[in-house]
A and B are shown apart, each in its own frame.
Chain A
């Protein structure tokens, strides 16, 4: 059954549907509807909502709760996510599952409160200290906020690691019809035998991240890297739109992809063979979905709400086999479909090569 809900609240409801009963967070615009929703809902389902003294404390509460084997979530927006990075590194090292939501706003610094995608690097390159990655899911509709949030808990439990849902202020505020599909939840996850719950009837469990012996620390790193290889092979996802015969491929994620898809439609209406690849996972990055278009695609236009971050991953995927152009808006400004259409026209439409502008 579909219900009409606001994006930020959908994340909260999806978490509850996925069995999450613990939420620790600190208020920040534009995601405050999510903790406010859970402050009301968690007690109703026997769960805990706790407003922490800071994002640093919140993420460490997540660490403690995750260490008991509970499904747990925290959310914030860009400046708060920066503060959580210490904790995320420790959660990764201890291989503790949790879900972290970043409803991105413009930066750097305090920046602004309008939607942005400028935390792409931070999200997809680990973010804190050490060699690590988080799985990063990039929903592009309210329905996907529900689906991906629920999926995030399964992925976190399956791979024993933090999973980030990377949205933006526009998506958090959006109202759309949504359905919570509990049947999609995985029913066969391994038991959390490592959890620290009191050692009654078993050997004691220890959750730690210190390896003073470099050989052991290297072993631990190798283990993490092996896990990441497995994730790269199994979990990268992208949606393609009109790519079959496309000569110009747009790459975009999240809110930007919604706008870019209407630019693609307009371009098609003008006879320009445009298409789109929309990464649904930002790490692992769906490079092959982009590479597959290169048999017929003449050029690529990456569009983001930042100064060009996913652009690096697109270029790596393309390996120089086609020119990659970029169009981005920063500061919390959402690009218009008409602006994107102009870029498409410059690259491959009306006046073809004459306006080529290398990114």
Chain B
């Protein structure tokens, strides 16, 4: 893997609107670097979802479509079915993917759509003010669980990677984190694996990336990174859940 200094070509010059300490920007960059390294910028169509990354088409220097909330996997399916030789990815938050879009992600995975999903899990609805997401940890304070998520009333978080890994048609499923440099590099490697799986026509690939929302968590950026390590990673173990054999991964 090359280490790229300077801005990847697959990112525009536009300044991020993300909050200080938010990992969306870092994850964008990793995706852009992988697309550059695979030489795919001019043959990729990305799908932005609804969440803080809704404007990611301002940052990805590629052809992009912006999907309705939760529908990115269906939109990506439509694109990929017309253009099977192009690279198609979605970039989705946890509210988008695991709540309103749970049917679309499950069925895109079940069909083995040959697309790559970048799933940013920050355990809350960032854009709308930090409400409970399906990934909110038991006891976690959010604006709609002011006393902490009570599993008796609100149930337990969804572990999407584990669910999708059980499906026959998924090719690559991994959960990684961005809480330190080492894990950022591991995340990049996983994203590379996911795009390669797509390149080789192996089927559905997804990288779930544990991320931060310091603004809604009401934490300093450094505290947020520690919170990912000390709390999120306990509930959401980092793992390569599925990697089909074959290819040069």
Q: A64 and B61 in contact (CB under 8 A), knowing A54-B103, A199-B42, A209-B66?
A: no
Q: At the interface with chain A, which of B22-30, B79-87, B176-184, B237-245?
A: B79-87
How far is the CB of B69 from the nearest CB of chain A, in Å? 9
A196 within 8 A of B: yes
Cβ B75 vs Cβ A204 within 8 A? no
For residue A209, which residues in chain B have a CB less than 8 angstroms away from its CB? 66
B233 within 8 A of A: no
For residue A207, which residues in chain B have a CB less than 8 angstroms away from its CB? 64-66
- Closest chain B residue to A70, Cβ basis: B82
Number of A-B contacts (CB under 8 A): 129
Chain B residues bordering chain A, tally (CB within 8 A): 35
Cβ B71 vs Cβ A67 within 8 A? no
- Selected contact of B81 from candidates A61, A90, A196, A205, CB within 8 Å: A61
Cβ B66 vs Cβ A24 within 8 A? no
- Selected contact of A63 from candidates B42, B54, B65, B87, CB within 8 Å: B65
Cβ A197 vs Cβ B55 within 8 A? no
Main secondary structure of the interface of A (DSSP, over half): mixed
Cβ B68 vs Cβ A60 within 8 A? yes
B164 within 8 A of A: no
Q: A90 and B77 in contact (CB under 8 A), knowing A48-B82, A198-B86, A201-B42?
A: no
The B-contacting residues of A in range 219-252, CB under 8 angstroms, are none
B41 within 8 A of A: yes
**Cα distance A62–B81 when bound, in Å?**
10
How far is the CB of B183 from the nearest CB of chain A, in Å? 30
**Cα distance A293–B198 when bound, in Å?**
62
Q: List 21 A-B contacts (CB under 8 A).
A: A50-B81, A57-B103, A61-B78, A62-B78, A63-B75, A63-B78, A64-B74, A64-B77, A64-B79, A64-B82, A65-B78, A68-B83, A94-B66, A196-B45, A196-B65, A198-B63, A200-B42, A206-B57, A208-B64, A209-B66, A210-B66
Interface residues of A (CB under 8 A from B): 22, 24, 48, 50, 52-54, 56-58, 60-68, 70, 72, 86-87, 90, 94, 196-201, 204-210
